[in-house]
Each structure stands twice: as C-alpha cells, then as structure tokens.
Amino acid sequence: MTRASTAWAIFQGLLIEALPFLLLGVAIAGIARWLVPQSAWARRLPRNAVLAPIVGALLGFALPACECGNVPVARRLLASGAPLGTGFGFLFAAPVLNPIVLASTWAAFPDKTWLLWARPLGAFLIALALSMLLGLLAESRLLAPALLEERRLTQPLSRVGLLERGSGLVGGSAPVPERPTSVERLRPGELLGHSTREFLNLLTLLVLGSALAAVVQTWLPRSWLLALGSAPTLSVIALMLLALVLSVCSSVDAFLALGFAAQVTPGALLAFLLLGPVVDLKLAGLFTVLLTPRAIGITAVAASLLVLLIGQWVNFLQL
C-alpha cells in the first residue's frame, strides 16, 4: 500500500512539473499559428533532406521548450505544411539545442568541457539521422491520421497521392499545383478554442505517460540499473534505461545526472543526457499525436542504437 501511495506522489510530481511546460508549448504553437498564417512557414523553409532538419534543429534556439512543450510546436510545424525534416529536426533536437538546456548543462558540469560540446553535437546528429530515416517512410505510414489530414489541407494537390486525394480524373493530367495564396488569419476566439482543445488532448496523453513512468519507477529498483555502472557497454545501456524510466524534463536532467556522474562511464553519462530528451515513457503518449505506432517504434529503436553507438565511441576515446 505504501508503494502505491509513493507511486501516486511520483505521478503527481511528474505531472505537475511537466504541465506548465506543456502549456507553454501549446502557447508557442498557438502564437506561431496566429502570427504566421497557415502554410506561410512552408514556403520559406528549405526542403532539402539535409538542410530541412538542420533548420528544424536550429529553431530550438528561437522557440525554447523542453520535450513536453515541443511536441505541440512540432505538430503545428508539420500541420502547417513544413517539410518533414524540419518538423522532426525540431522535435528531436530542440529539447537539447535551446539556451535553457545548454545553460543548465554548463551549470551542472562546468568542469566537463567535453560534455558542453558533445551533448549539443550528439543531439544534433541524432536529430539529423532520425529525420532522414523517418523521411524514408511514406507520410501515410509515418504521421498520425489526424495530423496527416490537417497537413494535406496545406499541401499542393500534386504532393498528395492520387488515391489519397478523394477526387480527380484517372488518366487525366495532374492539376497544376496551386499554392495557397492569402490565408485568413484565425480570429483570436477560434485560435483560443483550438489551442484549448489541443492542450486538453495532450494533457490526457501526458497523464497516461506520467502514470506509466511513476509505476515503473516505483516497482523497478533503480539500483539494478546503476549496479551495472562501471562496465563500458552495460553502463551505457543501464543509463539509457534510466533515462527512459525517469522521464525527467531536459531542462533539469543535467543536475540529476550530476548525482551519479562520478559512478558511471563518460559514455553512459552522455547517453543519459542524449536519450531522455528524445525517448522516454512520459513522451510515449504525447508522440501519438504526431506519429503512427510503427514510426514511434522505429524512432525509439533507432534513437537507442544511435545513442548506444555514441556512448560506446565516447568510452572508446576516454573523453
């Protein structure tokens, strides 16, 4: 019974801490939608497979949000017709490549200068690789159905498959793509209503993710994970699992890592700081508003393999 009440308290702590950041993310997404009318983003962003994720990753400096807050912002980017690479580059890199997280990493590890460049560089490379990997999938297999539908409204007809258009003549020439011209700006009331619905939908998923993280944390002894700390490969895997389970916000995870930095290998430390902002139990629900279950699975596996490789490489170089 005491375990259940402890899990209940951890759940409340995780949820109440994350909720303001989710609200901030929805607010940023709402303001962006109001200031820049639908699809005006898309016309200005590069569509190149490499440039698009780079631009997305760098957007983190302009729209600082942790991993909970950046889900609604990434969704807004994709729904507005931004290139997939830009949306995913932002989704995966912005939780690290933003001034708040970089400052907290520096504050926690002022003596580990290698970490101050390795963390942002690692996050950037992971975002680039994941964006390019997910870009290989067809949009219909990649994006959540509701997002896909919203995104198609802002896409020129030529970019939408014949069977997906719902209209058109078979055998006829493809219609000349018409770029959306002037799109009316949403009225403040409509915008508020939309943002409110988005917030409540994401909140439900955050509730489920926090519950999962609290249950796993309470019943899975953390000592099992940290006991593996000194072996090069096992330590990286152990800290990756810890990041997955803890689901702590990226703006404070460096301070948490400080607590066990002396007991684990440098590669494991970096792995903890890289994987948590991309994949954790709390995010499991939130990602369903962006990606199909299959794409979430691919993201989780690919991100884990990349982080494991980076961690191993850092241990090999003995930074």
Partner 1 sequence: MSLLQRLRRSPWLTPLALGLWGWLLLWSRLSGRLDLLLNAAFHAVVTVAGAVLMLLALIQLRGARRRRGGPVPLGVLLSLGVALLMLAFPPAPSFSDLAANRQDSLPEAPQLSFFLPPEQRTLTEWVRLLRSQPDPDLHAGDPLQISGFVLARPGEPAQLARLTVRCCLADATPAGLPVDWPEGSDPVPDQWLEIKGTMTVQDRNGVPTNVVKPASIKVIPRPERPLEP
State the first-to-last Cα distance of the chain, in angstroms, to the nearest integer: 45
Candidates 268, 295, 273; CA nearest to 284 is: 295
Between 24 and 74, name the residue whose CB sits nearer to partner 1: 24
Q: Does 259 bind partner 1 (CB under 8 A)?
A: yes
- Token pair of 315, please? 């241990």
Burial code (b: 16+ CB inside 10 Å, e: under 16) for 65-79 equals bbbbbbbbbbbbbbb
Going by C-beta distance under 8 Å and a sequence separation of 6 or more, which residues neighbour residue 105?
115, 116, 119, 254, 273
Q: Does 101 bind partner 1 (CB under 8 A)?
A: no
Q: Does 113 bind partner 1 (CB under 8 A)?
A: no
Burial code (b: 16+ CB inside 10 Å, e: under 16) for 116-142 equals eebbbebbbebbbbbbbbbbebebeeb
- Choices 70-78, 92-100, 114-122, 218-226; region in contact with partner 1 by CB under 8 A: 218-226
Greatest CA span in the chain, whole angstroms?
Answer: 69
Closest contact distance (angstroms) between CB of 155 and partner 1 is: 25
Q: Which of residues 27-66 bind partner 1 (CB under 8 A)?
A: none
Q: Does 110 bind partner 1 (CB under 8 A)?
A: no
- Token pair of 25, please? 């993310």
Between 84 and 273, name the residue whose CB sits nearer to partner 1: 273
Between 69 and 122, name the residue whose CB sits nearer to partner 1: 69
Q: Cα-flanking dihedrals φ and ψ of residue 291, to 5°?
A: -120, 160
Q: Does 114 bind partner 1 (CB under 8 A)?
A: no
- Choices 15-23, 87-95, 159-167, 271-279; region in contact with partner 1 by CB under 8 A: 15-23
- Token pair of 92, please? 């995966």
Q: Which of residues 129-168 bind partner 1 (CB under 8 A)?
A: none
Going by C-beta distance under 8 Å and a sequence separation of 6 or more, which residues neighbour residue 188?
34
Closest contact distance (angstroms) between CB of 60 and partner 1 is: 19
Cα 77 from chain centre: 13
Closest contact distance (angstroms) between CB of 234 and partner 1 is: 16
Query: Which of residues 65, 127, 143, 256 is near partner 1 by CB under 8 A?
Result: 256
**What mask of x and - would describe binding to partner 1 in positions 192 to 211, judged by CB under 8 A?**
xx--xx--xx-xxx-x----
Give the residues lining the site for partner 1 (CB under 8 A): 2-3, 5-6, 8-10, 12-17, 19-21, 23-24, 189, 192-193, 196-197, 200-201, 203-205, 207, 213-214, 217-218, 220-223, 226, 246-249, 252-253, 255-256, 258-260, 262-263
